[in-house]
Amino acid sequence: MTTTQRIFIVINPKAGSYVADTVRNTLERDFPRNAGHAEPFCEIHETGHDEQLVNIVREACARGFAMVVAAGGDGTVSGVAEGLVGTDVPLGILPLGTANVLARELGIPVDLGAACALLAGAHRFARIDAMRVGEHCYFTQVGVGIDAIMIRDTPTEKKKRFGRLAYIGTALRSLFGFQPRRFRLTVDGAELRLRASQVLVANSGILGQPPLRWGPDIRPDDGRLDVCVVRARNLFDYAMLAWHVVNGQHRRDHRVRYLTAREGVTIETLSKSLPVQADGEIIGETPVTVKLVASAVEVIVPADHGADLAPGP
């Protein structure tokens, strides 16, 4: 990046313990200053309640910013990335959230200083897929079941205080009394009915933190959606499932079924509706339809990460 190119930064002031000035100062340490130019090299926008983040990002692109940076958790990253769908402006990620799933999937450092150094130093560009739900795009996972209940029922203050451990406590409480539900799935037009405790449409495979993954060969650049169906009934089932996940033996566990969609997936519950999460945020209840948007956004990633990630143009 030259000294005349400018960066638009979207920061979620509620994510982590960082403030806008900390992010600005860290970036200024790594990026060369705009010598001879009156404008600052970066402009920071702090997210507010109930704003149209997509429109803010698109306006920044129209104003000629060379890079748009999302500083926050997966929800912030998703909102910024959505605004970049259909543009050639690359997305930079400063992971300041609790889980930071997409950043971990792409090998982006979760340390602020290291993430800023990546944007300013050696890196490459990769194009990743998106999942469209209604009018919005998401980039990691869309889930119905235990994961969505866990996200819905974990207070923000506990996430700030305990990080990912807050989710674990909520998940353990949710497991008691939660029985598999009857679902109807439509995958690329083919319909099937089944019982499951969790249905997940995955564009990213990270489960909490590497090396834990929802399944093998789930990547954000492969032009497909992976549907993971979990059929666990009790704590023993979940314990065995966790054992196979830890050991990378997902396909040996009869409690997990994998389906592949290259167009889209519709998830319906045949009794009571269940909450739906997308990129770590509750977005509504079932039914939900998820459509694939291939090669949707160009992202800045480490130069040596993921040789099979699709390169940018």
pLDDT in tens, 277-306: 998 889 999 999 999 999 999 999 999 876
pLDDT in tens, 239-278: 666 655 565 655 666 778 999 999 999 999 998 899 999 9
Please indicate, yes or no, if residue 110 is contained in any of the structural domains.
yes
**Joined tokens for residue 149:** 């209940």
Please indicate, yes or no, if residue 127 is contained in any of the structural domains.
no
Residues 151 and 117 in one domain: no
Residues 156 and 257 in one domain: yes
Q: How many structural domains compose the chain?
A: 2
Residues 98 and 172 in one domain: no
Please indicate, yes or no, if residue 300 is contained in any of the structural domains.
no
Residues 201 and 257 in one domain: yes
The proportion of the chain whose per-residue pLDDT surpasses 70, expressed as a percent, equals 76
Residues 99 and 30 in one domain: yes
Residue 98 belongs to a domain with what CATH number? 3.40.50.10330
Residues 277 and 144 in one domain: yes
Residues 282 and 229 in one domain: yes
pLDDT in tens, 169-193: 666 666 666 678 899 999 999 999 9
Please indicate, yes or no, if residue 306 is contained in any of the structural domains.
no
- Residue 36: pLDDT over 50: no
* Average pLDDT estimate for 102-131: 93
- Residue 123: pLDDT over 80: yes
Please indicate, yes or no, if residue 16 is contained in any of the structural domains.
yes
Residues 163 and 250 in one domain: yes
* Average pLDDT estimate for 192-199: 93
- Residue 129: pLDDT over 70: yes
Please indicate, yes or no, if residue 54 is contained in any of the structural domains.
yes
Please indicate, yes or no, if residue 299 is contained in any of the structural domains.
no
What DSSP line would sit under the chain, residue for residue?
--TT--EEEEE-TTSTT--HHHHHHHHHHHSPP-TT-SS-SEEEEE--TT--HHHHHHHHHHTT-SEEEEEESHHHHHHHHHHHTTS-PPEEEEE-SSS-HHHHHTT--SSHHHHHHHHHSSEEEEEEEEEEETTEEESSEEEEEHHHHHHHHS-HHHHHHHTHHHHHHHHHHHHTT---EEEEEEETTEEEEEEESEEEEESS-B-SSTT-BSSTT--TTSSSEEEEEE---SHHHHHHHHHHHHTT-GGG-TTEEEEEESSEEEEEESSS--EEEETTEEEEES-EEEEEEEEEEEEEEETTS-TTSPBP-
Domain holding 73, by residue range, is 7-122
pTM listed for this prediction: 0.83
Q: Which residue has the higher pLDDT, 102 or 27?
A: 102
pLDDT band at 35 (very low <50, low <70, confident <90, very high): very low
pLDDT band at 104 (very low <50, low <70, confident <90, very high): very high
Please indicate, yes or no, if residue 130 is contained in any of the structural domains.
no
pLDDT at position 147 is 83
Residue 178 belongs to a domain with what CATH number? 2.60.200.40
Choice among 19-23, 57-61, 203-207 with the minimum mean pLDDT: 19-23
Choice among 29-38, 65-74, 141-150, 230-239 with the minimum mean pLDDT: 29-38
Residues 263 and 184 in one domain: yes
